[in-house]
Amino acid sequence: MIATERLILRKPTKEDFGSFFEINHDPQTNIHNPGGPMSFEKAESTFAKMLDHWEKYSFGGWVIVEKDDPENIIGFGGLSYKLYGDKEKLNLGYRFASQAWGKGYATEFTKKAIDFGFKENNEEIFAIVRPTNIASVKVLEKAGMIRIGTLDDVPGQPESLVYRIQK
């Protein structure tokens, strides 16, 4: 478990799947996702991959809750290995329930995740963001990440922006 000023980040359990699906299936949280809301099957496979990442590397996507209401899951996010084209990189990603937007949680979470990654001896951390997702672009930049290029990761869509921070 990791804590920030207002958040608790903890390892996910199978019991967290319902909240994971609810957040990832919500059309509001997928405004910038070209694939749209996650189907139940996609959520199941994505959640299983998140749990497998924890088993393999002893870190991964966390469950994010408010310290003041630790039973209420407001998001999922963390660090995990992801393919950027044909290269595997340490990727920072998150998705918050829309009720948690506008409170500075994403920036608070992102800074803590970066800090964790560097304490675990990682030299650089990457993030991918859709060019229309201005709020997430601002979060990454507030956390000290710098845009280094683009990635053609969604066929037929504008290229994603690639951000990086180095230790």
State both tokens at 123.
């030299």
Tell me the residue length of the chain.
167
pTM: 0.94
With tokens 């099957």, the residue in question is 41
pLDDT < 70 regions, the chain: none
Please tell me the predicted confidence (pLDDT) of residue 145.
Answer: 98
How far apart CA 42 and CA 92 sit, in angstroms, is 20
How far apart CA 85 and CA 77 sit, in angstroms, is 21
- pLDDT tens-digit series, residues 23-72: 999 999 999 988 889 999 999 999 999 999 999 999 999 999 999 999 99
Is residue 118 within 8 Å of residue 139, measured between CB atoms? no
What's the alpha-carbon Rg for the chain, to the nearest Å?
15
